Structures are given as structure tokens and as C-alpha cells.
Structure 1
Amino acid sequence: MTDAAPQADGVPLQQVTLSALEHHAYCPRQAGLILLEDGYADDAATIRGTLLHQRVHEPGHETRGAVRTLRALPVWHDGLALVGVCDVVEIHRDGRVIPVEHKSGSYTPGGPADVQVTGQAMCLEAMFGRPIPHGVIYSAADRRRHTVAVDAVARDRVLTLADEVRHTLATATLPGAAADRRCRRCSMHDMCMPRVLARKDAITRAASKLFTPQPEAAWDD
């Protein structure tokens, strides 16, 4: 990632990708492993997602009726230092612009995907110069479109998460492991070792006892 244009105070914001926002919203440590250590691992779910995105990540466009569809559209917001790629952007004849994010799994209201599509909408607003009050997440699992409100709460969440990602990058420090139910379905489980890290204090105490020299009297016994 590169630096964005300087802000009003002269300090440039570090660019943050919309995919990093989604990873961070799901688990800050997962995002840290990807951003700081180039770590990534596939499982069945991520491979399904990759195959799904192959169908929508071929750049192109088409028009059907009153809707023009753009695929794999690069988006950015210089002022907020956000950058990414939209799976699909629908441009309607009545002026509406709607980002459509494709996901292979089921949709979770308020989940990380909402953050990604909200960020896409914010970028598209800056590029097209018009308000975008909602986006769409298409779930391949249930073959449905789910509308996501791009309201003040959703926008603030994007900005907060972007600042948290920048903090991770600036400090080059991996966030702690969640060690909860998210870990069971995370493809990076083996790389992260959440259960080991969750017991770090206990392991440190055990190691201290194991490697601390014993008094000479103890050996005499």
C-alpha cells in the first residue's frame, strides 16, 4: 500500500484496502497476519470464494434494460485513503449507483461484508459525485441479494476500522488472538495458533519454573 495525499494537517494517511477492513472486522489478528507477515491459507470456504470471484473479477461491462453493470471496478477515496475493487457496480438509468459484493457463504447482517460494501459505497460516492444510500451483498449460499444500509453508523464503523488497521501497520504489532468460535472456521487457524497464545501466561509460568535454576540445597537432597 502507498501513502495517500497529505491531509489538512500535512500528515499523509496510510492507504487501507477495503479487503483489509473486512478481515480486520472479522478478526484483527487475521488482518495483521495478512498485512504484516504476508500470511494466508486456503480452506474449502476460501477456495469456493475464489472460484465465485473468478466469475465476477473479469473486468468488463454490459447493459441490460435500464441497468449498466460494471465488473471488477477499481475504486478509491483520496480523502479517506481507501482503495479497493468492487465485484459489481450497477448504474441504473434513474441515476442510482449500487455496489454489489459477491460472497460464497451465507449472509450475516452487520457482519464484516457490510463493512466492505459500505467502504465501496463511500469510494463510489467520491468518484461519481452522488449519494449512495445502500449497497448489496449477494450470497451464493442462499442465492439472494441482501440490502445493506450505508448510514452514519456504517460509515463511522468504516472510518474507525480504517484507523485501527493503520495503527496495526504503524506499530507493526500483531493483535492478540481471539481464541473463540471464529477460530474454528478460520483458514489461518494453524498459522495463528489461537489456543496456544490464549494460554501464553500459563506457558510462561511453566517455562519459568522449568528453566529457573534451583538452589544448591535442592540438588543435595
Structure 2
Amino acid sequence: MTMTDAPFLLDDRWSVPISAIEHWAYCLRQAVLIWQEGYFESNTDTVRGDLAHAAVDRGGNLTGRDGARLWRSLPVRSDRLGIHGICDTVYRGPDGLIPIEHKSGRYRPGGPADLQVAAQVLCLREMFDQPIPHGEVFAGATRRRYEVRVDEAIHTAVREAVEGIRCRIDNPEPPPPLVADRRCERCSLRPGCLPETATRTPLDLFTPRPLRDHP
């Protein structure tokens, strides 16, 4: 995890990092803590992800065994949506460009990674002015690539996520902890997020407590 693709002002709007879209779809508070508060912690899962990204993070252009071109760590942006980021891999084959987002774990259809790769597709469409029907998510746990079709519905979901993030950047107060659930169990931000406080009665330090009766 790096902050090199942090939000920046684009005209009168914040340009939103594509990585923030995935965090937003996963957990609102996680996205705000990372991209607004600048808070991040590492754990075994994030380190595993960094190691899995080691090859693509080196960047460079390659030629695949089938003669197709590969770009690693390709910077992309969309001025229409006001987003920017880096594609792990972009594959140019007979059918055109395909961005491939690398994940160390398993793939969950309809999950946050779909929005992330869809945002990459939308950037490439604008940059290269060509139809790009889908992107792919490579899941390290299964060593498989999964196709993500980028239709109007997912385009709308990306746009709504971007607007939500942009509004949060202008709000100085982070959202309160959500109800602790399975998402929190392996989240590296748990020590600073304190999701357990969402299920506890707030401690009032200023209201006097009744005196105890003494025998």
C-alpha cells in the first residue's frame, strides 16, 4: 500500500484514486481513514499482497508468448470522472486492451475488485478512445483470471462511488465506526479504527453517577 496516488485537485474537483474506489466499496470508514486521514497499518494479508504485486510493480513493457503486448504499472486517468490510478497489467491482444487487476486472495463476483477494474476500463476507454468491453481480476488463491463486464450498471456504480468519496474528502469529520462484522476480523486498520466501539454504550464522563448505598 502506498500513498503515491493520493487525491489531488483537478480543476474544481478532487481527482479520486482508483484504489480508493475498492476501499469505499468494501468499507466506508476504511476508505476515509486511508485516503482522508492518511492512516494505514500492515498485517500479514497486506504484506502478502505486496509480495504478490512485486512483479507488476516493477513496471515495464513485455511481449507475451502469444506475441501480445503487456504493460505493467501503467498510469491511467479519466478527466470525465475525475479519477486516476495505476493498472497492474494491461494486455493488448487481438480483441484490444484488457486491464488485469492482481489480487492475492480469492475472487468474489460483484465484490469491490469489480469496481476497481471497471474504473480502469473506463480510464482506458477515454485515454485510447476505443471500446473496451471488459477487464479481468487475477486471483492468486486460484491462479485464475475472472472477467468483469463493464456495462452501464457498473459504470453508474463507479460514478456514485467517486462522488461519495469526493464528498467525504470535503467533510472534516470521519464517519463513526460501523458495526463490527467479518470485514473487521482481518482488516489491518482495526487497531486504529476500533470497530468494537460501535457496539458499546458511549461512556459519559461528565454526568454524575449516583452515590452507592453503604451499610
Q: How does the TM-score come out when normalised to structure 1?
A: 0.87
- Give the drift of 1:214: 6.4
What's 1:133 paired with? 133
Q: Is the 8 A contact 2:103 2:140 kept in 1?
A: yes
- Give the drift of 1:55: 1.0
- Give the drift of 1:95: 4.8
Matched to 2:105, the amino acid is: G
1:12-27 equivalent positions in 2, closer than 5 A: 12-27=12-27
Q: 94-103 or 114-123, which moves further after superposition?
A: 94-103
What's 2:185 paired with? 184
Matched to 2:75, the amino acid is: P
String of CA shifts for 1:180-218, please: whole Å, max 9, x gaps. Answer: 21111211111100011332xx224xx25xx42469xx6
Instruction: Tell whether 2:202 aligns with 1:203.
Output: yes
Max Rg structure:
1
Q: Identity of paired residues, percent?
A: 41
Q: Is the 8 A contact 1:177 1:198 kept in 2?
A: no
Q: How many residues align?
A: 206
What's 1:82 paired with? 83
- Give the drift of 1:36: 2.1
String of CA shifts for 1:149-195, please: whole Å, max 9, x gaps. Answer: 11111111110011111111011221232222111121111110001
Matched to 1:188, the amino acid is: L
Matched to 2:127, the amino acid is: M
Q: Structure 1 CA distance, aligned partners of 2:161 and 2:199?
A: 23
Q: Structure 1 CA distance, aligned partners of 2:29 and 2:164?
A: 11
1:146-185 equivalent positions in 2, closer than 5 A: 146-178=146-178, 179-185=180-186
- Note closer, same or farther for the CA distance 1:119–1:214 as it changes in structure 2 (3 Å cut): closer
Instruction: Tell whether 2:106 aligns with 1:106.
Output: yes
Aligned CA-pair RMSD = 1.8
What's 2:118 paired with? 118
Q: Is the 8 A contact 1:100 1:136 kept in 2?
A: yes
What's 2:58 paired with? 58
Any idea what SS the aligned residue of 1:56 has? helix
Any idea what SS the aligned residue of 1:55 has? helix
Q: Is the 8 A contact 2:177 2:197 kept in 1?
A: no
Structure whose residues are more often helix by fraction = 1
Any idea what SS the aligned residue of 1:48 has? helix
- Note closer, same or farther for the CA distance 1:198–1:97 as it changes in structure 2 (3 Å cut): same
What residue ranges of structure 2 are gaps of 5+ in the alignment?
Answer: 1-6
String of CA shifts for 1:122-169, please: whole Å, max 9, x gaps. Answer: 000011101111100000100000001111111111100111111110
